[in-house]
Amino acid sequence: MAAVPEASGIRPILLKILARLRRFFSRLPLHVILIVIALLWLTPTVGLLVSSFRPSTEVSTTGWWTAFQTPFKFTLDNYSSVISQNGMGRSFLNSLIISIPGTVIPILVASFAGFAFAWMKFPGRNILFIFLVALIVVPIQATLIPVLRLFADTHLVGTFPGIWLAHTAYGLPFAIFLLTSFFGTLPKELLESAYLDGASNMRVFFRLILPLSVPAIASLAIFQFLWVWNDLLVALVYLQVPSKAPMTLTINNLVSSFGTQWQLLTAAAFISMILPLIVFFALQRYFVEGITAGAVKG
Amino acid sequence: MAEVRFENVNKRFGQTIAVSDFSLEIPDKEFVVLVGPSGCGKTTVLRLLSGLEEPDEGKIFIGHRLVNDVPPRDRDIAMVFQSYALYPHMSVHDNMAFGLSLRKTPKPEIERRVKEAARILGIEDLLKRKPRQLSGGQRQRVALGRAIVREPAAFLLDEPLSNLDAKLRVQTRAELSKLHQRLGTTFIYVTHDQVEAMTMATVIAVMNKGVLQQVGKPQDLYEKPGNVFVAGFIGSPAMNFFDVIVKSASDGIYLDAGSFQVPVPEERAGILHEYLDKKIIFGIRPEDIYSPRYITPGIVASPIRATVDVTELMGNEFYLHMVSGDKQFLARVDARTAARPGQEIELVLNMAKMHVFDSETQITLLS
């Protein structure tokens, strides 16, 4: 009789272990696929990182994977060289000067517009919205010459405000579309309640809409920041002053002038990757929330 | 504190007429319940009053002020929404204080009012929580609290109990009545549930298809419904209706339903003399039908025979779904009544409580 409670104590534990095993094996194929994809993605990045720390003689003679054999030959010379002699330090700063307003301005404008499109009644609202959203499909290349001529007339070529404006204009259609859809999913009663509580449109926007839309705004910010940070075309066309060149332009110049100095290119490339990585990891929680927004009603 | 007046208000949404020629005067400090089936325009009336919708025609007054062009925030009213509409990113305290801080109420005064409202509603322990950490009943209280702290001229409540479970609903009903007495403010309450209307209202306004049907005290609407719709809507279970022909005999007037005939008491016969041999609608409430063995003394009893279709024993009473000819009706009789499905039994109608309506206009023939 005494064995019975013992047996009944072991059985559930066994069942639990079995259930866990079953779950592990049923998910195994998925995990294997994910690991393979992650490796495929990571390998070139790791190679880039390792190469950027190897001396030029090593880089030109052996592959990066041989760097882990003794004797270790690592150096910081590549970084100091690109930052000081090739203007990567200045370019990093330029990239920031371009990207931060290039992200903040369109999101600010788009959130005001999104609020109006989602919640205010005004004549022509739907037609205007459709027109704005349709601009998403206009290729940038088609706008380069007209905008450049416009900038030339208004002396905006080669200035930071000029490129801020350009990035704002290119980013707005999608940003307005995304924020309008997100704001539209907020419950109507919430806004009505705030109006009855005595809130003006401004108050509703700043006290209600913005705090409740952090996931959408954060994911939009990541999109826009990465787009501006990685942009070469817009900078190449509108920002023709070398002292204001962002990193993409500088790296491009490095490729043409130091075509064989891989160690310098890898260091420069890795510098340009650091910030997007930091931004992504800092905001990735919102990013995931943002792209699944509206899928599940909280 | 204010009376509220609607004068010939119309509201259309596209082709749909939501509210049609709506006129209603709500005296100060009343608890008015707007009741009607879904889509009858009752919520639209509330939204018109709050300023969230604008009337196409007509005037709306709060106090003696015409408010047609006054924005919602300047109407001095507070609204409790069906979904509660609590600000999800703010604590309970901030939810309640939000309206006051927007109106630049001094901080100590805000604290005093929030504490007072929280005490009245019994939510003092919840002030630091976020709405998602609250149960349905607690959220409902916070929504009420948000309205109370504003000390508005009128409270508008849009089906505030519909998201609560049955038990909590009964409890909250009583608390709302108490709250109304305590605050002494005009309450305008919208519901589709006639039980809520009957239990809480001091005045009920019944609406159907955008048209105001009847306004009155709960008991008056129950006893003297003005038309077939109100008669069928107020009271649970609903009143039974029969198409009958008014006939005359040597001993007075009787109603011929085909499968049964019932005499009309002399004091109620008056107007029916004009309807001799014409079709009218006869109405009798389930609770005015008795089993012959358990008759309440003092009723005007007219026996009929009918077949039992389905029985429902509710414990204290017995619901009998009856068939007479091609007509079905419900009787609510003493629980001791012996009745089995398929059995033909005798029932007694209390004709002192009969209702008659014009079959064209559906308006009552009783004065």
Distance of CA A35 to the CA centre of its chain: 23
For residue B273, being part of any structural domain is answered with yes
Which residues of chain A neighbour B97 with C-beta distances below 8 Å?
none
For residues B114 and B139, membership in a common domain is answered with yes
For residue B363, being part of any structural domain is answered with no
Average pLDDT, chain A: 85
Q: Which domain holds residue B341?
A: 240-291+299-358
Given a cut of 70, whether residue A293 has pLDDT beyond it is no
- Using an 8 Å Cβ cutoff, are B232 and B239 in contact? yes
For residue B59, being part of any structural domain is answered with yes
Whether residue A71 lies within 8 A of chain B, CB to CB, comes out as no
For residues B284 and B303, membership in a common domain is answered with yes
| Residue B272's CATH number | 2.40.50.140
Task: Point out the domain boundary residue: B211, B233, B255.
Answer: B233
The sign of the torsion formed by the CA atoms of A119, A122, A126, A128 equals negative
Q: What is the pLDDT of residue A287?
A: 66
**Which of A120, A196, A214 to probe by mutation at the B interface, max B CB count within 10 Å?**
A196
Given a cut of 60, whether residue A234 has pLDDT beyond it is yes
- Using an 8 Å Cβ cutoff, are B9 and B48 in contact? yes
Which residues of chain A neighbour B99 with C-beta distances below 8 Å?
196-198
For residues B215 and B251, membership in a common domain is answered with no
Express each pLDDT in B48-71 by its tens digit: 999 999 999 999 999 889 999 999
Q: ∠ CA(B154), CA(B159), CA(B160), 5° rounding? A: 75
Residues A286-295: what's their mean pLDDT? 57
Which residues of chain B neighbour A193 with C-beta distances below 8 Å?
79, 81, 85, 87, 146
Express each pLDDT in A149-161 by its tens digit: 999 999 998 899 9
> How does DSSP assign B298-358, residue by residue?
T--EEEEEEEEEEEEE-SSEEEEEEEETTEEEEEEEETT----TT-EEEEEEEGGG-EEEE
Whether residue A212 lies within 8 A of chain B, CB to CB, comes out as yes
Residues A187, A279: Cα–Cα separation, whole Å: 30
For residues B96 and B212, membership in a common domain is answered with yes
Given a cut of 80, whether residue A1 has pLDDT beyond it is no
Q: What is the pLDDT of residue B1?
A: 57
For residues B226 and B247, membership in a common domain is answered with no
Given a cut of 50, whether residue A294 has pLDDT beyond it is no
Q: What is the pLDDT of residue A3?
A: 46
Residues A271-293: what's their mean pLDDT? 75
Given a cut of 50, whether residue A296 has pLDDT beyond it is no
Q: What is the pLDDT of residue A76?
A: 82
For residue B148, being part of any structural domain is answered with yes
Q: What is the pLDDT of residue A291?
A: 55
For residues B276 and B175, membership in a common domain is answered with no
Which residues of chain A neighbour B82 with C-beta distances below 8 Å?
189
Task: Point out the domain boundary residue: B213, B233, B253.
Answer: B233
Express each pLDDT in A245-266 by its tens digit: 888 888 888 777 766 677 788 8
| Residue A2 pLDDT class (50, 70, 90 cuts) | very low
The count of other CB atoms within 10 Å of the CB of residue A83 is 17
For residue B367, being part of any structural domain is answered with no
Residues A60-71: what's their mean pLDDT? 75
For residue B81, being part of any structural domain is answered with yes
> What percent helix, strand, coil does chain A show, rounded to 5?
80, 0, 20
Whether residue A33 lies within 8 A of chain B, CB to CB, comes out as no
Return the DSSP state at B246: E
Whether residue A185 lies within 8 A of chain B, CB to CB, comes out as no
For residue B366, being part of any structural domain is answered with no
CA distances from B251 to A23, A88, B263 (A): 86, 114, 9
For residue B18, being part of any structural domain is answered with yes
Residues A95-101: what's their mean pLDDT? 93
For residues B259 and B346, membership in a common domain is answered with yes
| Residue B45's CATH number | 3.40.50.300
Express each pLDDT in A112-132 by its tens digit: 999 999 999 899 999 999 999
Of B130, B193, B134, nearest to B160 by C-alpha is: B193
CA distances from A28 to A39, A47, A194, A247 (A): 16, 28, 50, 42
Domain count, chain B: 2
ipTM of the complex: 0.82
Task: Point out the domain boundary residue: B233, B257, B278.
Answer: B233
For residues B72 and B133, membership in a common domain is answered with yes
Return the DSSP state at B364: B
For residues B157 and B253, membership in a common domain is answered with no
Q: What is the pLDDT of residue B358?
A: 93
Regions of chain B short of the pLDDT cut 50: none
**Residues of chain A with pLDDT > 70: what percent?**
92
Given a cut of 50, whether residue A298 has pLDDT beyond it is no
Given a cut of 70, whether residue A53 has pLDDT beyond it is yes
pTM for the model stands at: 0.78
Q: What is the pLDDT of residue A115?
A: 95
Omega prior to B237 cis, within 30 of 0: yes
